[in-house]
């Protein structure tokens, strides 16, 4: 394999050796030209964990850290991102009250923040249901999301946000109130026009235009690595593949690749991206 000429960073990917292809998927990413990945913790239920306190998320986070170590041995740089999936609120409130669900999720975020402070993870993850969950659940979710923003402010780290499609203007206001720079609040699965930092799925058509204007953006696959859901998302090669397609078509330059995959990533997450 020839050494890569520029870094390629997947801003949001999951690798799951238990329920998915695991290291084979990471090898696919590497072979396609990937160099760095933000490895995001999976929802607790996908690992068979039913949390009843915040510290129960340790099982989920320790698994993410373990997998990060395995993937790093392949020669990739792996930055773990830990947090609580916004859809956990619906799962949890099937068996405990909404107020208790909020407390468990906030506790999970406190637990994740501990990993960031210890240097085991680089960022947090939170959000609110991307589906219509009703006003009560939405307001409870915003409460959890605000807590996540406060934790990100405390840890001086970035926060990935999983939320409904659209600009999420109010989340920018929440970030200001919590004291987190808006450009460190990453809208996962972004659509153009959000005031948050956009992480685009690696098929977004507007990327070349945005990059030409030096609009900060990153790219992700949101590959879930679940054998039970093949084709639910695009594959682990998609970020390097799309980057190389855009490059080959002359729609972006090598300099643009450094802007997307290194400079912007360093700015948003405060981590180094070197070849
Ligand atoms: Zn994801």
Q: How far is the CA of 3 from the centre of ligand 1 (A)?
A: 28
Q: How far is the CA of 123 from the centre of ligand 1 (A)?
A: 14
Q: Which of 55, 178, 181, 198 is nearest to 113 (CA)?
A: 55
Q: How far is the CA of 223 from the centre of ligand 1 (A)?
A: 7
> Residue 39 pairs with which residues in a beta bridge?
13, 80
pLDDT in tens, 119-131: 999 999 999 999 9
Q: How far is the CA of 14 from the centre of ligand 1 (A)?
A: 6
Band (233; pLDDT cuts 50, 70, 90)? low
pLDDT of residue 170: 97
Rounded to whole angstroms, the Cα distance separating 13 from 99 reads 30
Q: Is the pLDDT of residue 244 over 60?
A: yes
pLDDT in tens, 81-94: 999 999 999 999 99
pLDDT of residue 2: 63
A 10 A CB-CB count for 231 gives 6
Q: Is the dihedral of CA 92, 187, 164, 171 positive or negative?
A: positive
Q: How far is the CA of 178 from the centre of ligand 1 (A)?
A: 24
**Higher-scoring residue by pLDDT: 232, 100:** 100
Q: How far is the CA of 40 from the centre of ligand 1 (A)?
A: 7
Q: How far is the CA of 53 from the centre of ligand 1 (A)?
A: 22
Band (3; pLDDT cuts 50, 70, 90)? confident
| Percent of the chain residues past pLDDT 70, beyond the cut | 98
pLDDT in tens, 168-212: 999 999 999 999 999 999 999 999 999 999 999 999 999 999 999
Q: How far is the CA of 128 from the centre of ligand 1 (A)?
A: 13
**Higher-scoring residue by pLDDT: 29, 4:** 29
pLDDT (mean) for 158-174: 97
Q: Is the Cβ–Cβ distance between 132 and 167 less than 8 Å?
A: no
Q: Is the pLDDT of residue 1 over 60?
A: no
Q: How far is the CA of 247 from the centre of ligand 1 (A)?
A: 26
| Residue-level length of the chain | 275
Band (227; pLDDT cuts 50, 70, 90)? confident
Q: Is the pLDDT of residue 99 over 80?
A: yes
pLDDT of residue 230: 64
Q: How far is the CA of 172 from the centre of ligand 1 (A)?
A: 21
Band (234; pLDDT cuts 50, 70, 90)? confident
Q: Is the pLDDT of residue 219 over 60?
A: yes
pLDDT of residue 228: 84
263 secondary structure, DSSP code: I
pLDDT of residue 229: 74
Q: How far is the CA of 75 from the centre of ligand 1 (A)?
A: 22
Q: How far is the CA of 82 from the centre of ligand 1 (A)?
A: 11
User: Which tokens sit at 148?
Assistant: 């996540």
Q: Is the Cβ–Cβ distance between 236 and 33 less than 8 Å?
A: no
- CB-neighbour burial class of residue 263 (10 A; exposed 0-12, middle 13-18, buried 19+): middle
pLDDT of residue 26: 98
Q: How far is the CA of 188 from the centre of ligand 1 (A)?
A: 8
Q: How far is the CA of 111 from the centre of ligand 1 (A)?
A: 19
Rg (CA), the chain: 18
Q: How far is the CA of 85 from the centre of ligand 1 (A)?
A: 9
Mean pLDDT of the chain: 96
pLDDT of residue 231: 60
Rounded to whole angstroms, the Cα distance separating 96 from 123 reads 28
pTM: 0.97
């Amino acid at each position: 394999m020839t050494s890569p000429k520029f870094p390629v960073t997947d801003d949001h990917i999951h690798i799951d050796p238990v329920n998915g292809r695991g290291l084979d998927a990471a090898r696919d990413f590497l072979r396609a030209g990937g160099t760095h990945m933000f490895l995001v913790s999976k929802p607790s239920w996908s690992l068979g964990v039913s949390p009843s306190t915040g510290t129960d998320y340790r099982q989920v986070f320790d698994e993410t850290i373990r997998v990060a170590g395995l993937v790093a041995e392949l020669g990739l740089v792996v930055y773990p991102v830990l947090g609580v999936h916004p859809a956990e609120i619906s799962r949890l409130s099937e068996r405990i009250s909404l107020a208790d669900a909020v407390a468990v999720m906030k506790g999970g975020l406190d637990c994740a923040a501990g990993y960031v402070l210890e240097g085991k993870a680089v960022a947090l993850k939170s959000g609110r249901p991307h589906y219509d969950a009703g006003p009560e659940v939405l307001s409870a979710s915003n409460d959890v999301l605000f807590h996540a923003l406060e934790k990100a402010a405390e840890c001086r780290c970035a926060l990935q946000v999983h939320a409904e499609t659209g600009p999420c203007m109010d989340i920018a206001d929440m970030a200001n109130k919590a004291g987190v720079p808006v450009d460190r609040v990453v809208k996962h699965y972004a659509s153009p026009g959000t005031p948050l930092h956009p992480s685009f799925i690696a098929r977004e058509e507007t990327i070349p235009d945005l990059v030409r204007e030096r609009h900060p953006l990153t790219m992700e696959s949101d590959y879930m690595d679940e054998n039970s859901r093949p084709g639910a998302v695009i594959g682990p090669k998609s970020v390097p593949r799309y980057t190389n397609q855009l490059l080959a078509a002359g729609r972006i330059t090598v300099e643009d690749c450094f802007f997307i995959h290194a400079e912007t990533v360093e700015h948003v997450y405060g981590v180094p991206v070197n070849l």
